[in-house]
Amino acid sequence: MTILLVSPNWLGDAVMALPAAADVRRQERTSRLAVSARSGVAELWSMVPGVDVVVTLPHGRGLERWAALREGAERLRAIGADAAILLPHSLQSALTARRAGVSERWGYRRGLRGLLLTRAVPAPRGRLHQADYYRHLVGALGFPNGDRVPGSTCLPPSRLPHASGSRPRAGHPVCRCWASRPVRRTAVRSDGPRSASPPWPPPSRAATASRP
């Protein structure tokens, strides 16, 4: 199957989604993993091993949002994905996947968008680390969870470091920016300053997250 993973829009959340992406890519039924993301986080996904294609989605505000939705749907249609896993909670992500002709649309049941999903997973209760929140979703969809620590977890089994004798570069973005603090939303934006939310990750790490 060609699986389309719809990325979160915030850089910190995208980093937290790396273990879930690794869980999806590791399964034999995933012959091809595509990721759709806004421009602020698309570069991160382009450096993640195991991701076969990255589609940058346009972003618009107000009336421009609908034009961006149509353009994004056309870009996704070209992938020919069999299923889409929607990590964001937005209604727009579900609408875009449906307009793109993706027959299987999976994600958390949040608000009215549950009507647009073919598999709607109930959101877990309680306080979870953001990485576990995404891992819970893919686990419920039939992709067993692996390691929560990023790095070599994003490689399929045949490309794990121990198989080739190599080690991930210390400067690679998937080897940075990890925290054990249990949060539901991160405080790092890809296109602006940190918000007043609980601080994760420290500014020095956030500043290097997008550098190769």
Residues 134, 145: Cα–Cα separation, whole Å: 10
Decide if 211 is inside a domain. Answer: no
Q: What is the mean pLDDT of the chain?
A: 76
Decide if 52 is inside a domain. Answer: yes
Residue 174 has pLDDT above 50, yes or no: no
Decide if 212 is inside a domain. Answer: no
pTM equals 0.70
pLDDT of residue 64: 78
Backbone angles phi, psi at 121, to 5 degrees: -95, 130
CB contact set of 126 (below 8 Å; sequence gap of 6+)? none
Q: List the domain range (segments joined by +) for residue 49.
A: 2-206
Best mean pLDDT range from 24-33, 149-158, 182-191: 24-33
pLDDT of residue 150: 56
Q: Find the CATH number of the domain harbouring 86.
A: 3.40.50.2000
Of the candidate ranges 20-29, 114-123, 154-163, the one whose mean pLDDT is the lowest:
154-163
Residue 60 has pLDDT above 80, yes or no: no
Decide if 202 is inside a domain. Answer: yes
Tens digit of each residue's pLDDT (9 = 90 or more) over 107-156: 999 878 888 999 999 999 888 999 999 999 999 999 999 988 755 444 44
- First-to-final CA distance of the chain: 30
For residues 194, 196, 200, 202, the Cα torsion angle rounded to the nearest 10 degrees is: 60
Domain tally, the chain? 1
